[in-house]
Amino acid sequence: MAALIIFLIGLGIYMSQFLSKEAPNRLDIYNLHKSLGALALGAVFIRIINRGIFKSPELPNSLPKIEKIGAKSAHFVLYILMIAVPLSGYLMSNSFGYPVNFFGHNLPNMIEPNEKLSHLFHELHEILPYVMLGVIALHIAGAVKHRFFDKAENDVLKRML
C-alpha cells in the first residue's frame, strides 16, 4: 500500500499539473488513477480489519514515551488519510457526474451529481493528498532516524519489513 499510495500521489500531481488537456491518453491516465485509487480504498478496509484481528506488536520499550506518542499519532492520521484521500476522489468524480472506472468496469455511484459538493470534494482532494505527503515524509524520517541514528533495539524498520 505504501508503494501504491506514493505512486498515486506522483500520478495525481502529474495529471493535474503537467498533463496537457489535449493529451490523447488523458482519459486512460485519469482512469488508471481512479482504478488504483479505488483499489487503495478497498485495501485500507481489509488492512483495518486485519489489524483489528491480529493487532500490531507493541513498540519497543526502549523508545522514549514522546516518540511512541509521535509514531502512534502519525499512524492514526495515516489511517484516516488512507480513507479520506481516496474517498474524496471517489465522491469528487461522482458529484461531477462521472462514474469511477475500475479497470474497465464502472463502480456504483456513491452520490448523485451535485455542483456544490463537487467543488467541496475537489478542494478536499486537492489539499488532503499534500497533507498526506507531509505526514508520510515525517513518518519515513522517523523510520530512517530509528534505523541509522538510534540504538539497535529501536530499529522499527526491521520489524516492519
Q: Among 40, 46, 31, 29, which Cα is nearest to 105's? A: 31
Cβ pair 87, 41 in contact under 8 A: yes
Taking CB atoms within 8 Å and a gap of at least 24, the contacts of 47-56 are 47/1, 47/82, 48/79
| In the complex, minimum distance from the CB of residue 44 to ligand HEM, in angstroms, rounded to a whole number | 8
Binding site for ligand HEM (CB under 6 A): 2, 5-6, 8-9, 12-13, 15-16, 30, 33-34, 37-38, 40-41, 51, 56, 59, 75, 78-79, 82, 85-86, 89-90, 93, 100, 125-126, 129, 136, 139-140, 143, 156-157, 159-160
| In the complex, minimum distance from the CB of residue 18 to ligand HEM, in angstroms, rounded to a whole number | 10
Which C-beta is closer to ligand HEM: that of 6 or that of 120? 6
Which C-beta is closer to ligand HEM: that of 30 or that of 70? 30
Which C-beta is closer to ligand HEM: that of 53 or that of 160? 160
Residue 109 CA to residue 83 CA, distance in Å, equals 17
Which C-beta is closer to ligand HEM: that of 99 or that of 116? 99
| In the complex, minimum distance from the CB of residue 157 to ligand HEM, in angstroms, rounded to a whole number | 4
Alpha-carbon distances, residue 100 vs 27, 38, 76 (angstroms): 12, 8, 27
**Nine-digit cell at 57?**
506488536
